[in-house]
Chains A and B, each alone.
Chain A
Amino acid sequence: MTIDRREFLLQTGKLLILTSSAAAALEYVLAGTPEEAPGYTVADHYWAMMIDIEKCIGCGNCARACKEENGVSRQPYYFRTWVERYHVRPEEPELPDVDSPNGGIDGFPEKYRGDDGSKSFFVPKLCNHCAHSPCTQVCPVGATFESPDGVVLVDKKYCLGCRYCVQACPYGCRYIDPDKKVADKCTLCYHRIRKGLTTACCEVCPTGARQIGDLKDPNDPVHEFLRTHKTQVLKPHMATGSKLYYNGLDGSVR
């Protein structure tokens, strides 16, 4: 079979176009489909969370649902959210006994009777989604950042895994994903809240002890909550601009 120059150029041209478009298509497929969130504008939202300690019963549903929803490692040292049990004795309010067996996922075995004048309560913990977050400040490449709608996120394709952010978080909310070797943390279920859903942890909370709030939505219950409750954030002296508002937070909580 003989091919003249004209035919050769034509065939080569076709081949080039086809392979390059195939490569582009493959890249598109490999990149995955972007999460669909029609009508969601980041500028219209600013997320926070309300936690009512008086309502928390320590069932651990939130910690369990979080691991399920976000594919967090089941090992007991990696948590995006966990529940702590505080036991405060009146003679030593500054040195409470705290435990969180497996992050509270399996609930808490009965331990304190409360007839000695002491008190016990549960404190759910998660990323504080700080407005002036020390973790994003130290990231050497800006792989972790505060989104315009007030959520602290990690770009897992960009993170070096240097662990500086884990050191910088005063609340112990970050860890290194043991599989991907990058920083991981609560995303406030960003994939859900953009679709108008609530977070996995709030969804399963049987008492409504945790609720997500949109500070930019004038009709959001968060405004009523902040107005009618005496709220506090964790470690206020750290001045991190935490947006995790606790009702009934005892002074002994760290």
Chain B
Amino acid sequence: MEMESILNSVQGYMYPNEVELQWSVLIVLYPFITGLVAGAFILASLERVFNVEAVRPTYRLALLTALAFLLVAPMPLQLHLGHPARSFEMYLTPHTSSAMAMFGFIYLWYLMGVLVLEIWLDYRKEIVLMAREKTGYLGKIYKAMTLGVDNISERSLAIDDKVGRFLTIVGIPSAFLLHGYVGFIFGSIKANPWWSTPVMPIVFLFSAIVSGITLVMLMYMLVSWLKGHAMDMNCLDTIGRYLFYAFIIDFTLEMLDLIHRTYEADESFHALNFMMQTRLYTSQIILQIILGTVVPIGLLAAIQIVRVSEMARKGTYVLSGILTLIGIFAMRWNVVIGGQLFSKSFLGYTTYKMGLAGREGMGLSILLLILPFVILWGLVKLLPPWDEEQAA
């Protein structure tokens, strides 16, 4: 059976209970997805709070993307539990010293207190107009979405805008909390030297910003292409520039961690170094660092320096965007799976074999990655993120 083949591929010595990996690909998806949420929100806040007008065309798309992914974020966690029906206990009897116990509260706050509210305020005028205009099934949905408020006077909309702006300001630390907290889940485990570092939440945060900005950039390009809209190159270039800046910080932090570990070379170094050069070589060195980070940073940097045609810039954004998402996914993989491949005795290594089917298989993981796009499609249908005049 499967476990036996894993036992046979153990190299060196693992404590017997360590042979089986505890956290599967589902737990890789969790930080990947919440990272996209946090990053997309940060991009939205660039326009709203920091008045970066150039990225305005992506503002609403960024918010809807964040919502679509946030709705999926708890699913891999729920699926992974041995007793999914008991998860509600985390709300009823949270253990205050547990980082994980805070998940539900941070999640609910971010979902209901920040994101849904902000989207509602931003779309309120359209929702009310649609509720008046549409009939039948769709009309009922819009009517329900107005929450019984149909005042769209100038004064009322001005208040919406003010509250929305305030919410975005509250939303930035909330987005930081949402994803920095995910980093803390790993960073606070002293038993595991691959995870245990105070930099972990910050590394997670900046990689989240990188991945979220990238996703919205790609979505904007895809949607514009599908709809036949002209792409706002000023917007794309601005996003590219911010992506470049965030990437530099992210890469610096990750390299700082790596250099620090290598230079200190504590008791775990031998094992971790061996792991990076063998079992994690492809996913860490090749995918995460070279293809997923150095190459896209190089491409983005080149665009900042050299003047190239619009077409070439678009191509570069698509290429570096896809590489970036692969790289960030690899980073989550290397943290979550990599952190379980070596023994806490530092004397041996196990392997992770991902099944195709089943609750923790690849099939379901791919579905979970497609699902947010389906939700986003529905959201975009219901709440079109582009102005009509821009569509021309």
CB distance from A135 to the nearest CB of B (A): 9
Count of A interface residues, CB-CB < 8 Å: 45
1/0 contact string of A168-202 vs chain B (CB within 8 Å): 11111111100011100000000000000000000
User: Which residues of the other chain, A, contact B192 by a CB distance below 8 angstroms?
Assistant: 167
Chain A residues lying within 8 Å of B95, measured Cβ to Cβ, are 139-142
Complex Cα spacing A172 to B350, Å: 14
Q: Which residue of A lies closest to B99 (CB)?
A: A138
Candidates A98, A158, A159, A172; contact of B17 at CB < 8 Å: A172
Contacts of A159 in B (CB 8 A): 82-83, 86
Q: Which of B16, B80, B89, B101 contacts A82 (CB 8 A)?
A: B16
Measured in the bound complex, the distance between the Cα atoms of B54 and A148 in whole Å is 62
The answer on a CB contact under 8 Å between A170 and B190 is yes
Flag if A172 contacts B23 (CB, 8 Å): no
A residues in contact with B3, CB < 8 Å: 75, 77
Chain B residues with Cβ below 8 Å from A139 are: 95, 98
Is there an interface contact between B20 and A175, defined as CB atoms closer than 8 Å? yes
Q: How distant is B70 from chain A, measured CB to nearest CB, in Å?
A: 20
Q: Is B100 an interface residue (CB 8 A)?
A: yes
Q: Tell me if A's interface is mostly helix, strand, loop or mixed.
A: loop
Whether B7 sits at the interface, judged by CB under 8 Å, is yes
Cβ distance B47 to chain A, nearest Cβ, rounded Å: 36
From A77, A160, A168, A170, B20 is in contact (CB under 8 Å) with A77
Chain B residues contacting A125 (CB-CB under 8 Å) are 15
| Sample (10) of A-B pairs whose CB atoms are under 8 Å apart | A77-B7, A77-B17, A78-B16, A103-B16, A142-B98, A159-B86, A163-B23, A167-B192, A167-B340, A238-B190
B77: nearest chain-A partner, CB-CB? A162
Note all chain A residues with C-beta closer than 8 A to B101.
Answer: 140-141
B19 at the interface (CB under 8 A from A): yes
Interface set of A (CB-CB < 8 Å, partner B): 75-79, 82, 84, 95-100, 103, 125, 134, 137-142, 158-164, 166-176, 180-182, 238, 254
Bound complex: CA A95 to CA B348 (Å)? 11
* Separation of A140 and B103 alpha carbons in the complex (Å): 9
- The residue that B82 contacts in the complex, of A84, A161, A168, A238, with Cβ under 8 A, is A161
- Does B191 make an interface contact (CB < 8 A)? yes
B165 touches A (CB below 8 Å): no
A113→B98 CA distance, assembly (Å) = 48
B345 lies within 8 A of chain A by Cβ: yes
Give the residues in chain B near A238, CB-CB below 8 Å. Answer: 190-191
Q: Which residue of B7, B86, B100, B345 contacts A254 across the interface (Cβ within 8 Å)?
A: B345
Given known A-B contacts A96-B347, A158-B86, A161-B81, A140 and B100 have beta carbons under 8 A apart: yes
Chain A residues with CB under 8 A of B83: 159-161, 181-182
For the complex formed, measure the closest distance between the CB of B309 and the CB atoms of chain A, giving whole angstroms: 50
B82 touches A138 (CB 8 A): no
By a CB distance below 8 angstroms, the chain A residues around B97 are 137-138
- Residues 311-349 of B at the A interface (beta carbon under 8 Å): 340, 343-347
8 Å CB contact of A138 from B13, B94, B100 = B100
Q: Are B15 and A171 in contact (CB under 8 A)?
A: yes
| Contact in complex: B16, A77 (CB < 8 Å) | yes
Give the 9 A-B CB pairs with smallest separation, nearest first: A161-B82, A172-B15, A181-B82, A170-B191, A142-B95, A98-B13, A140-B101, A254-B345, A140-B100
